[in-house]
Amino acid sequence: MFLKVSQLGVRYAGRPQAAVQGVSLNLNAGDIGVLIGPSGCGKTTLLRAVAGLEPVSSGEIRLQDQVVSSANTALPPEQRRIGMVFQDYALFPHLSVGGNVAFGIHQWRKSEQAARVAEVLELVGLEGSAERYPHELSGGQQQRVALARALAPRPQLMLLDEPFSNLDVDLRERLAHEVRGILKAAGATALFVTHDQLEAFAIGDVIGVMNEGRLHQWDNAYTLYHRPATRFVADFIGHGVFLPAQLVMRDNGVVAQTPLGDLSDLDECPLPSSYPDGECDVLLRADDVIHVDGAPVKAQIVRKSFRGSEFLYTLRLASGQTVMAHVPSHHNHEIGEWVGMALQVEHVVTFPRGK
């Protein structure tokens, strides 16, 4: 295991609650991990602890099997061979692009420095820009220089904290894909912090969802979306809606009875005995709820937003619950209209009956 974080706790003096509590995660060499979660959930604190910039109050951090942080060990940041790109990690304005990129390798021989600068600038798509100055570059180009600067000393681990948050949305998405390509081409292992889930999906091999200092799940994007471990993950990733359901046995199989009809032929569905009286909530994504003109269950459209090839409808069921559905945009119904809806769920995800 390349990076191993075990039962990590980080506290700030004078704050009653730990900023990071009981967090464990593993990252393989060459993989990109992404931490995502709402503001204040502890993402940056965790990243800073890995960098050696925050002391650890419990648990430990290992890099290539060496304990670098624990309650009584703290390898200084400069000995961790870590490259960092932070949101506010500005370039030095008085240094050329080449000068900026060479900053962390100034102790190398001049010829090796020049070769490495050319190599990483090519990697980030800025070959031939070594003589330019930061103010002559766009925001996206400046962030690529910052990335090149961090990669130049061949760090064993790259840490990136919301590196695109000062850039506009279109550029962010493009850069997210580019940065993944650059990190992979460099063979880098990286931990990346964002609060944007599309960015997380575009960049991460493995994604961790944090809330209030805790890591709820550490998995690939597909599993996070389809098999969320907690209600928080279900809601945060892909905006889940929860419908009350009752699990019952019928013909040797489990059926989930919901206000949108029965769900049967379910894979991996828990038995009714998993919940008191079989009563639970099922997670429904907008793509689990389909519009069928003649369906017996009707729902009223309360909101609709046009997304080009489809509408995202928000619908209220007769039972009062709200669900969302992606519907092909040629089904252009009016707000207030009652339309036929049904469920198309492959694997059902259940949680204890909620708040």
Ligand X SMILES: Nc1ncnc2c1ncn2[C@@H]1O[C@H](COP(=O)(O)OP(=O)(O)OP(=O)(O)O)[C@@H](O)[C@H]1O
Residues at the interface with ligand X (CB under 6 A) = 12, 15, 19, 37, 39-45, 195
Query: In the bound complex, what is the minimum distance in angstroms from residue 48's beta carbon to ligand X?
Result: 7
Query: In the bound complex, what is the minimum distance in angstroms from residue 77's beta carbon to ligand X?
Result: 16
- Calculate ∠ Cα 308-314-315, nearest 5°: 135
Query: In the bound complex, what is the minimum distance in angstroms from residue 218's beta carbon to ligand X?
Result: 16
Question: Could you tell me which residues come within 8 angstroms of residue 25 by beta carbon, excluding any fewer than 6 positions away?
Answer: 3, 4, 5, 33, 208, 215, 218
3-state secondary structure (DSSP) of residue 233: helix
Whose Cβ is closer to ligand X: residue 41's or residue 263's?
41
Whose Cβ is closer to ligand X: residue 19's or residue 254's?
19
Whose Cβ is closer to ligand X: residue 74's or residue 137's?
74
Whether 294 and 337 have beta carbons less than 8 Å apart is answered as no
Whose Cβ is closer to ligand X: residue 15's or residue 109's?
15
Query: In the bound complex, what is the minimum distance in angstroms from residue 297's beta carbon to ligand X?
Result: 40
Whose Cβ is closer to ligand X: residue 19's or residue 221's?
19
Whether 249 and 272 have beta carbons less than 8 Å apart is answered as yes
Query: In the bound complex, what is the minimum distance in angstroms from residue 333's beta carbon to ligand X?
Result: 38
Concatenating the DSSP letter of every residue in 113-132 gives HHHHHHHHHHHTT-TT-TTS
Name which of 153, 145, 156, 136 is nearest 182 in CA terms: 145
Name the one residue in this structure whose structure tokens are 């793509």: 287
Whether 163 and 34 have beta carbons less than 8 Å apart is answered as no
Whose Cβ is closer to ligand X: residue 195's or residue 333's?
195
Residue 90, token pair as written in the block: 């500005």
Provide the pairing of β-strand 261-263 with 253-258. Answer: antiparallel
- Give the whole-angstrom CA distance, residue 259 versus residue 244: 8
Whose Cβ is closer to ligand X: residue 146's or residue 186's?
146
Whose Cβ is closer to ligand X: residue 19's or residue 243's?
19
Query: In the bound complex, what is the minimum distance in angstroms from residue 69's beta carbon to ligand X?
Result: 15
Query: In the bound complex, what is the minimum distance in angstroms from residue 13's beta carbon to ligand X?
Result: 7
- Give the whole-angstrom CA distance, residue 334 versus residue 270: 38
Query: In the bound complex, what is the minimum distance in angstroms from residue 55's beta carbon to ligand X?
Result: 12
CA pseudo-torsion sign 196, 201, 206, 207: positive
**Maximal C-alpha separation, the chain:** 77
Phi and psi (nearest 5°) for 339?
Answer: -125, 155
